[in-house]
Amino acid sequence: MTKLAIVYLSTQGSTQMMAEAIAEGVSQKHIEVRVNNFYEWDPKDAATYDGIAIGSSTFYYKMLEPIAKFLDALIAEGVEGKVGAAFGSYGWSGEAPVMIAEKMREAGMKVVDPVLRIQYVPDEKDLKECQRLGKDIAMKLKKLVKE
């Protein structure tokens, strides 16, 4: 079965809310999904999934350092050709998801656009956008499996 790993680091809980809503959208399209904060993941395990979505809040115009290190370790495992997605919450600048997506593209991943950035705590409309991203990821995964 096609599988998606959702890895996130959330400082205030907003990125976690996004991750869970993305997972809901993915599972509605019958794709197996595992969503956990990055402490629960080993990059080697995440690299075995067909798709990987990574979320980080933005801190001082960057992705959180533990996520940056996780992403580097994940890429070292070999992720070329896999589906990737980036998301995150922010207070005022919001660069982290864009940086994650850039690194994924450089590693040869097929990144789902647009990158999802939500300011502050996601409201109901924002969570629906997250579910939509989950569905888009699922459709891209299904297309990849057919190729």
The domain spans of the chain are 3-146
Q: What per-residue confidence (pLDDT) applies to 127?
A: 97
CATH 3.50.50.60 fits 3-146, yes or no: no
Question: What is this structure's pTM?
Answer: 0.95
Closest CA to 36 of 141, 50, 22, 25: 22
Query: How far apart, in whole angstroms, are the C-alpha atoms of residue 34 and residue 146?
Result: 22
Give the closest residue to 28 by CA, choosing from 110, 145, 124, 142: 142
Q: Determine the average pLDDT of the residues in 58-82.
A: 93
Q: How many CB atoms lie within 10 A of CB 119?
A: 14
Residue for token pair 């997972």: 23
Residue 91 has pLDDT above 90, yes or no: no
What is the pLDDT of the chain when averaged over all its residues? 94
pLDDT of 143 strictly over 90: no
Please state the rounded mean pLDDT for residues 66-78.
96
